[in-house]
A and B are shown apart, each in its own frame.
Chain A
C-alpha cells in the first residue's frame, strides 16, 4: 500500500470515528404511510413503529374546463422557465422532517414557495409530534383557495393510544407572511387516522380511520369526515378485511380513496351527501392504475367532475423503467391522454412516480416522478422544496400540496 493509500485509509477511519453509536437516531420502521401501506386490520403495527412517507396532498375544486389543446409527451425537465398558466396555484407548500439541528430528534419544517419560480417565500417551524411511541412524518393538504393548508402529524403512543395534531397554515395574499395555528380536531384515543385531505372549500377534513382498541387487530376501518367549524363527524366504515388509503377530494361532495384488501383493491369514489354508513356500499369503483410489480398502487386523483382519474403507471424492464402520468376515463378506465413520460432506472422509478396535488382549474399538477415539479398540461417544470432545500432532506420525508 502506498503512502497515499495509507493516508486515505487512516484519514477516513479517523473521520468516521467522530460518528459515535450513541449519537445515532433509532430506526424508524415503515408503519403504514406511503409507499407501503399498512392495513392494520391485517397486521397491527408495533407500538414503536415510525415512518415518514410521500403522501398525496390534494386540492380539487371548480370545473375542470381549461385543458391544453395539444397533447405533448414530456421527456424530462424543460430547459426554460415555464410561465404560470391560467389556473395554476400561485404557491405550493412543503413539509419535511430533518435531523439537522434536532439533536438526534427530527424537526418538522414547512416552507411556502412560489409556484412560478420556486423561490422560497416563507419558512416555518412546526411543533414536532415526537412521543415515546414514535411519530409518523408530517403531511400537508391544501384547499383550493391558494392560501389555506392543513399540516398534520400522527403518532402511535401505544396499541390503544394514538395521537394526531392538526395545524392550520394560512398565507397572506403575497405568500410572504403566514400564520400557523393548532386546530381543535378531537379524536378518540384508540382511533388511528391518516391520509388526511382538506376539502377544496377548506371546510372539511376527510381521513382514513382505523379503530384498533386491541393489539390483535382492528374492529373496523373507514373514512371520517370532520366539519372543521363545528367538529361534526360523519363516518363511513366497514369490517371488511382491508383499509382505505390515499384519501382525496373530488369537488366538495365526493371523496376518492384507494381501497386495498386481499379480495379487492382499487380506487373508489364516494358521495358525501348521505349521513354516513357502509364504506364499500356507499362508494363505487373508478378507474385505477395497475399495481406495480411490488404490489404498490400509485397515487391517483379524481377531477372535480368525477369523470377523469389522473394517475401514473410504471413499466419495468431490465434495470430500467418507464413511468407515465396519464389521464383515464374514470368510468371505463380508457386511456385519455399521456401527460408525461420519463425513463430512468427501475430503482428510482419503482414506486417513485406519483401525482401529489391537483390545482383547482385545468391540469396543474404537483408530481414526484421521480423528480419533483409541476406539470402544466404536459409540460414539466422542476421545482425545489421537495425534498426540502435542507441538505438533509430525503425524498420520503417531504410532502407538498397546492
Chain B
C-alpha cells in the first residue's frame, strides 16, 4: 500500500468516526434539545443564556463523544455539561457584574423574560434564585427533571445522602420564600 493509500484509509476511518459522532450528537439534539434548554433556563432564569449554555454543551459533547463509554449515557453526560455550563455562567455573571455595574439591573428581573411576575411560576422561579447553586441543581433535577435521588446523585457526583440533605435545606428556604412553611 502506498503512503497515499494509507493516508486515504486513515482519512476514511477518521471521516467515518467523525460522521458517526456527529450523527449521535444530532440524535441527542433532536430528542433532548428542548428539555435541556428548559433545564438551563430554570437554572439561569434567562432563556438566551440557557440556549448558549446548551449549545456550548453540545459542542463539548461533540468533542468528547469518543470518550463516552456508553453512548446511551449521552443524555446524562449532556445534562451534566449543561449544569456545569450553568455554574460557569453564574460565575461569569458575577465577574461581569463586578466590573460592569450596568449589568446589575438585569439581575433581579429580566425585561426580556416573559414571566414578568404574572403567575405562580414566576414566584417559584424567583424563589429558586434564593437557593445556592447546588440547592437549585438538586431542586430542578428533582422537581422539574423528575430524577430520583440516585439519578441526581449520579448526575451531580454526590452521595444520595447529600442529595437528601441538600433537598431538605432547599425546601426549607423555598417554603419560607413562598409562604408554605
Contact = CB atoms under 8 A, between A and B. Distances in A.
Interface of A: 2-5, 7-16, 18-19, 21, 24-25, 27-30, 35-36, 41-44, 46, 51, 98-102, 118-120, 217, 241, 262-263, 294, 347-348, 351, 371, 382-384, 387-389, 391-397
B70 interface: no
Given A35-B63, A43-B15, A27 B29 contact: yes
A348 B125 contact: no
Nearest to A44: B15
B121 A14 contact: yes
A4 B84 contact: no
A36 B62 CA distance: 9
A217 B22 CA distance: 18
B174 interface: yes
Nearest to B120: A11
B19 to A, nearest CB: 8
Given A9-B143, A27-B58, A394-B56, A384 B63 contact: no
Contact of B124 (A8, A348, A392, A393): A8
Contacts of B26: 27, 29
A294 B68 CA distance: 12
Contact of B52 (A9, A98, A101, A389): A98
Given A7-B178, A347-B84, A391 B96 contact: yes
B63 A36 contact: yes
Interface residues of B, number: 65
A217 B12 CA distance: 11
Interface string B1-19: 0000001001100110011
Chain B residues touching A, majority SS: helix
Given A19-B34, A384-B96, A12 B52 contact: no
Interface of B: 7, 10-11, 14-15, 18-19, 22, 25-26, 29, 33-34, 37-38, 41-42, 46-53, 55-56, 58-59, 62-64, 67, 84-85, 88-89, 92-93, 95-96, 98-100, 103, 106, 112, 114-115, 119-125, 139-140, 143-144, 171, 174-175, 178, 180
A81 to B, nearest CB: 11
A351 B63 contact: yes
A131 B142 CA distance: 40
B103 A394 contact: no
Nearest to B15: A43
Given A11-B123, A347-B84, A348-B88, A19 B11 contact: no
Nearest to A348: B88
B30 to A, nearest CB: 8
Contacts of A43: 11, 14-15, 18-19
Given A294-B63, A392-B52, A15 B42 contact: yes
A15 B103 contact: no
Contact of B180 (A7, A217, A351, A371): A7
